[in-house]
Amino acid sequence: MTGDAQYGSASRTPLRPEAVPAGTNVLIAGPGLTGKREVLLDLLGAAPDPAAMLVTTKHGVDRFREGFRDRYGDERSLQFVDCVSRQRSMAVARDTAAVSHVSGPGDLTGIGILASGQLYDWYRADERVRGALGLHSLSTLLMYADLRRVYQFMHVLTGRVDGADCVGAYALDTVASDPEPAARFTQLCDAVVDTRQTDEGRELRVRGGRFGPRSWTAF
């Protein structure tokens, strides 16, 4: 069974993540509590090869690890850049083979070094690894750095994802009173997955890509 087939069977949204081309950057945008984390976990399995890294700026590693393992078992590996543990605890969080730490969500330099390093390792492997890089969430980064700085950070990161023929997925909480962040980050991405909550439940649509429904669809 190919990696794409494994992924397709694990998807819990109306997306067809096996159709996401290598080198694609996807923005997942919607109000809070509209399923962006679930969409992100699905897209992390979209890479042609079973390798993924997640930058977690909002929640601890365990929540994402369990969700990812629930979908894929041990068939796909997930590494982390943990931006929360050292900020929340007086104890020093130790780096492991699976989890690297930075001081907090405001350490864009540290995040960039670790994420870019992983992309470089995948690219330079004897058999190039076309993995997936996720970030949850851009909204937290914007609490610690202004929009211009986060935009510059994302400009570099999305370019490196593209250059490494990997898949990038980035979650953003949208606020109706401030549409600028979504508009700016959309410029850097190849496609957008919009999410929303209605009286009937959660819905999503895909703009700019052919890996999911173009009209609002329940999930």
The predicted-structure confidence for 181-194, as pLDDT tens digits, reads as follows 999 999 999 999 99
Higher confidence at residue 44 or residue 75?
44
In this prediction the pTM is: 0.93
| In the predicted structure, residue 87 carries a pLDDT above the cut 60 | yes
Please give the backbone phi and psi of residue 208, each rounded to the nearest 5 degrees, phi first. 85, 5
pLDDT of residue 12: 87
- What CATH topology corresponds to 19-218? Rossmann fold (3.40.50)
Q: How many helices (DSSP H) and strands (DSSP E) are in the chain?
A: 8, 9
Confirm if 132 and 167 have CB atoms less than 8 A apart. yes
Question: Once rounded to an integer, what is the mean pLDDT over residues 120-144?
Answer: 96
How do the domains of the chain map onto residue ranges? 19-218
Q: 3-state SS of 176-213?
A: CCECHHHHHHHHHCCEEEEEEEECCEEEEEEECCCCCC
